[in-house]
Every structure is written in C-alpha cells, then in structure tokens.
Amino acid sequence: MPFQSSEPSQIRHQGRPSQIVMVCPEPAVRSKLCSMLSVRFAVTLLCNPDDLVLCLSKSPVPTLVLLDWFAGGDSTGKTALGLLTTILSTRPSLPVVILFDFLDPKKIVLVTRMGAADVLVNPFSEREIEHVIQEHITSSSDGNPVEMDETPLGEDTAFVRCSQRMRKIEAQCVLVARTNVPVLILGESGTGKEVAALFIHKVSARRQQSFLKVNCAAMPLDLLESELFGYEQGAFTGAVKSKPGKFEICNHGTIFLDEIGEMPAPLQAKLLQVLQDGSFSRLGGRSSIKVDVRVIAATNINIKAAIAKKQFREDLYYRLNGFELTIPPLRERRDEIPVLANYFMRKNCPEFGRDCLPLSVSMMQALINHSWPGNVRELENTIKRYLVLEDEHAIINELTMLLRDAKSMALATEARNFTSGLKRIVRGVKGDAESVVIAQTLEDHHWNRSAAARELQISYKALLYKIKQYNLVQQKTA
C-alpha cells in the first residue's frame, strides 16, 4: 500500500522523554501499535517518507524508529529499504526496529547486515515490543542517541562529527579554544587537521580576527621565512619595498602552521622566539616587532622520532605542545563514513550542477569496507568521482579492487616476515651445529688451531673468525 500524504500526528507522554517515531502506512497496524506504546512512550506517527527525512534533520533526534517493512507500497519493500538506508546514513547511531508482517529469513538477514537494531514479526505482543524498544533505548546512551553535528566554518568547509572519538576531539577543541596556549595537532594526512584548527579558531575569542594557513613543507627556507615574518626593502634582490609577513597580518588572530615537522631547522629557532615572547624581526630588518598571535601547528610525521634524529628541535616541540590533539584515521571511525559520504554528496553536487546521487546499500558497504589510506580527503575525492561518472558500479568495483590489493599486500608482507623469520631460525640452528663441531674438533686437537683447520678443511684465518664469531674459549683442565 503506498504512503498517504499526511501531517505527522503527535501522541505525547508527559512522564517519559523517549521519542518513538513510527513509519507505517497501514491504519490497522498503526492503531494497534499506537494503543500498545502511547501509554509509556511519546509516539510520532508518520505516513510519508519525506516526513521521516524532515524529522531526522531536526532536534531533538528521535530515540528509536519503528519501520514497517511494507512502508513503501509493494511486496519487495524497496521503499522501506531506501528509508532504512537513509536513516542509517543520516543517523548511524539511531536504533531502527523493522516490523515484518510474516517471517522472511532472507529479508531479516539483509536488514540485520545493513545495521537494523532488531526485527519483530507479526503477531507480536505488547510486552514483546515494549521489551525490544526498552532494550535498545537503554543501550543507546540512556535514550539519547549520538547525533550527527555539522558546524559550518566558511568557504564550503564544515566540522562534521558523530562518533564518540570525534565528540571527544570536539570537546577538547572547545576546551582549548578558551585559552591562548599553542596547539599541536597530530594525525595522518587527510584526517582533517586543518578543519580541527579552524574549528578551534571559530569557537575562540579570536573568531572575528584572521585565520591564516601556512604550509611549511611547500616553500624553501628563505621564501618561508619571508612569508612568515616579512622583509624590509632591499633585504634581497627583488625586495623593492617592505612587506609584512603572516604573523603581522594575523595579529590578534590565529595562524595555522601546517606540516610543521618539515620546517627547516634554521627557521625553527626564530619560531621558538615568537612563541616565547611574541617578538621577531623582518628579514633584513633591525627593529623588533611584537604581535599577539595564537599558533596552531599540525604534522603527520612521528614528531618524537624526528626529535630523536635531531631533525626537529625538542624545545620547539614543548613550546608548540601547549595542548596536543590526535585526529584518528578514518578507518578507526568507520561509523562516520555514511555521515561524511552524505555530507560530501550534499556539499559537492552543486559544483557539478546536479542533484545528489543515491548512495545504495552496496555503495555504502563498499565505502565502509575500504581502508581509506587517504582518510577523509580520499573519501571526498571518491564522492566527487562518483558525481562525475554517475556510475555506482564503477566506484564499487574500484573500491573492491583497492581492498583486494590491500589484502594481497598485507598477505605478501606477512609471508615475507614469515620467510625472513624462518631463515633466521635456520641460520641459528646451522650456527649452533657449526659451533659444536668446531669446538669438538679444537678439543680433539688440544686447541691446535692449524690441525683443527686441516681436519675441518677450512683456512686457518677462517677458523680464527669462527672462534671469534661463536665466542669459543678453551676449557682449562684442573
């Protein structure tokens, strides 16, 4: 039976905050469920799929969704499948309970694999449905499911988060934004370090001032120094007039030093001075300039290993590390992949002059399974490629091949490690046997090295090397 257009009807329960959204076109089923649940829960009845999409986009987010499998019209349940995909991609932490009119093992397996929280098959009792709802409300953070939040940061950039790890990052950003201490952001390339830096700036007292980014790996020493600190007229050939650097321009604002681990060593000392007292001099200048700038730095290298190799100043590290944030790679927060994929779809489709393309169950599963070595940046590029090609199968095949290649490389590495380990074991066993033979031969000849070398059929020099290699010592007799 197709959906009937109607406004959602509210059945409120004053004593309980849990909000159950029920998507069901059958009046008889709606009436039955309503009489079962309205005593204990606040229930919102929806007859139109557009109403569900609108409901999910508003706050507060529902506590749980009851979705009738036939909430779409035909026996295949295509619309219900689409609605389930929409719910799980928009609100991945929101429990969804599917209602079936009859037992269909294939469909039950399908929705369970997709991420449905539970399944109920008619006929079910009031006690049974209340138990299922209560169980999933309790397991979903005391009835408050994790919501997806999107904070616009300007220039088509937003801080999007829904996982617990990124919620923790958000809380840390808000906390450190209240201070002026330098922040060091660590993480793999493409994880969103710049977005985190911009978010800190936007929620700080400096939000009305400038936010400037400088890529420390993109310029040679002299150019980077003049970019950061400016130069005076005549400081070098071509300096026909004085020019302020980023630190001057960004006075009272925030400067983001990306790839700080790649900064040349001579410039690290000058940056250290700025962090210590806020003063520096332009290239070719004699006077000191004082500024008030919040410094946020980021790197994808192992900064402590760079310090150990004398590639990065330890005192600069401790100055930059007033507060340290580590952005987890995308493969460690896969629950955010559907949310980010939908965000990048909405963000980029206007650029390509078309409506958003659907992200099917197969497409979403391929996205979730991929390891994303390029992290969030790679995910956005994949969505852009999908918008260009308009071919879901091409993207799925590409991701499947990449996953297969990654697994093959992992197996090859494991095999190489096993082989090299086996070779070491064999060499060790051979060495032990060789040392025993040489020691016994030396004892037989009362440590006459020349005689032992002749019996072993090796040179005298080779025997001396073996004695040293195996640390063989003549045993003294009493």
Residue 88: pLDDT band (50, 70, 90) is: confident
CATH code of the domain containing 452: 1.10.10
SS3 3: coil
Within-domain flag for 474: no
Q: Are strands 9-11 and 42-46 parallel, antiparallel or unpaired?
A: antiparallel
Considering only residues 437 and 425, tell me which one the structure prediction assigns the higher pLDDT: 437
Within-domain flag for 4: no
* Structure confidence at residue 247 (pLDDT): 94
Claim to verify: residue 378 and residue 411 sit in the same structural domain = no
Q: Is the distance from CB of 229 to CB of 267 less than 8 angstroms?
A: no
Claim to verify: residue 176 and residue 319 sit in the same structural domain = yes
SS3 196: helix
The continuous run of DSSP H or E covering 224 comes out as helix 221-229
Neighbour count for residue 127 (Cβ, 10 Å): 9
Claim to verify: residue 311 and residue 414 sit in the same structural domain = no
SS3 5: coil
Sign of torsion over alpha carbons 373, 377, 380, 384: negative
Claim to verify: residue 29 and residue 176 sit in the same structural domain = no
Measured CA to CA, the distance from residue 148 to residue 359 in angstroms comes to 18
Structural domain range at position 134 = 9-139
Among 117, 139, 161, the domain boundary falls at 139
CATH code of the domain containing 184: 3.40.50.300
List the end-to-end C-alpha distance of the chain, in Å, as a whole number.
103
CATH code of the domain containing 121: 3.40.50.2300
* Structure confidence at residue 430 (pLDDT): 56
Q: What is the pLDDT of residues 197-217, one digit of tens each?
A: 999 999 999 999 999 999 999
Q: Is the distance from CB of 44 to CB of 19 less than 8 angstroms?
A: yes
Whether the link from the prior residue into 123 is cis, omega within 30° of 0, is yes
Mean pLDDT calculated for residue range 32-44 = 77
Claim to verify: residue 280 and residue 201 sit in the same structural domain = yes
SS3 20: strand
Q: Name the residue with tokens 């980077």.
A: 224
Answer yes or no: is pLDDT of 453 > 60: yes
Per the structure, the count of domains in the chain is 4
Rounded to two decimals, the pTM is 0.60
Answer yes or no: is pLDDT of 9 > 80: no
The continuous run of DSSP H or E covering 95 comes out as none
Residue 440, CB half-sphere, CA atoms under 13 Å: how many?
7
Residue 10: pLDDT band (50, 70, 90) is: very low
Mean pLDDT calculated for residue range 389-400 = 88
Question: In terms of C-beta density within 10 A (0-12 exposed, 13-18 middle, 19 or more buried), how is residue 26 classed?
Answer: middle
Q: Is the distance from CB of 63 to CB of 43 less than 8 angstroms?
A: no
Considering only residues 476 and 144, tell me which one the structure prediction assigns the higher pLDDT: 476
Within-domain flag for 288: yes
* Structure confidence at residue 447 (pLDDT): 87
Triad 51, 57, 61: Cα angle to 5°: 95
Claim to verify: residue 28 and residue 160 sit in the same structural domain = no
Answer yes or no: is pLDDT of 366 > 80: yes
Measured CA to CA, the distance from residue 232 to residue 236 in angstroms comes to 9
Q: Is the distance from CB of 298 to CB of 197 less than 8 angstroms?
A: yes
Among 139, 173, 194, the domain boundary falls at 139
Q: Is the distance from CB of 109 to CB of 75 less than 8 angstroms?
A: no
Claim to verify: residue 368 and residue 307 sit in the same structural domain = no
Measured CA to CA, the distance from residue 257 to residue 262 in angstroms comes to 10
Within-domain flag for 2: no
* Structure confidence at residue 476 (pLDDT): 61
* Structure confidence at residue 420 (pLDDT): 57
Q: Are strands 9-11 and 323-326 parallel, antiparallel or unpaired?
A: unpaired
Q: What is the pLDDT of residues 273-298, one digit of tens each?
A: 899 989 998 988 888 899 999 999 99
Measured CA to CA, the distance from residue 240 to residue 234 in angstroms comes to 6
Measured CA to CA, the distance from residue 179 to residue 254 in angstroms comes to 12
Q: Is the distance from CB of 463 to CB of 450 less than 8 angstroms?
A: no
Averaged confidence pLDDT in the chain? 81
* Structure confidence at residue 213 (pLDDT): 95
Claim to verify: residue 165 and residue 282 sit in the same structural domain = yes
Answer yes or no: is pLDDT of 416 > 50: yes
Q: Token pair for residue 353?
A: 């002059």
Claim to verify: residue 120 and residue 193 sit in the same structural domain = no
* Structure confidence at residue 4 (pLDDT): 39
Within-domain flag for 226: yes
